[in-house]
Chain A
Amino acid sequence: KDQVFQPSTVASSEGAVVEIFCNHSVSNAYNFFWYLHFPGCAPRLLVKGSKPSQQGRYNMTYERFSSSLLILQVREADAAVYYCAVVCSNDYKLSFGAGTTVTVRA
């Protein structure tokens, strides 16, 4: 079964760089998507693509079967669940990882 893997939790301190690693076993998947989810709210896209990219404080690294999301200068308000997802070019369906809960100490 095709799967997407990411750590369940990452702990950090304010001002640090948080890195969340993701890898997958989905054949014909070339694009990564990183979503941010605050419980009770709609998940929203942070960054996506098939090459390294940056959106504000969010950097995405890219390899064929893995990607990392880096959150620069992390704040307490960044504490949330971060989902990694890939899309298979055969059926265009998104496959999500189980999500990484980021905690931030003041």
Chain B
Amino acid sequence: NAGVTQTPKFQVLKTGQSMTLQCAQDMNHNSMYWYRQDPGMGLRLIYYSASEGTTDKGEVPNGYNVSRLNKREFSLRLESAAPSQTSVYFCASSEFGGTQETQYFGPGTRLLVL
């Protein structure tokens, strides 16, 4: 099992450009998440999908959109990138999203917006 995979690993964008971060999991998990990691801030939830066909906002959703394409894939889109979106983005998944469940993370996408 590859677990949670993310593409690309690294991306440089200019302000105003758009891009989509891809995430896929092969563990047959129902719940998927997008986080951003910034120095001194820890991991903050952007959006999550409790199950296929549903998505909900997390703590910092502004400037982002998501699509739960199918059970395996959950993408994050930046329509008009801003320097404040420079960050490391992590995708995660869990079986059902319960209070005792482990979230499994991908290796991250490092994004630089100039």
In the complex, identify which listed stretch (B13-21, B65-73, B75-83, B98-106) lies at the interface while the others stay far away: B98-106
Q: How many A-B residue pairs have CB under 8 A?
A: 57
Q: Do most interface residues of chain B lie in helix, strand or loop, or is the interface mixed?
A: loop
Residues in A lying within 8 Å of B, measured CB to CB: 4, 8, 30-31, 33, 35, 40-45, 48-50, 83, 85, 87-89, 92-94, 96-99
Q: Give the contacts of B29-62 with A (CB-CB under 8 A).
A: 35, 40-45, 48, 50, 58
B58 and A93 within 8 A (CB): yes
A96 and B43 within 8 A (CB): yes
Residues in B lying within 8 Å of A, measured CB to CB: 3-4, 35, 40-45, 48, 50, 58, 90, 97-100, 102-108
B residues less than 8 Å from A8 (CB atoms) = 40
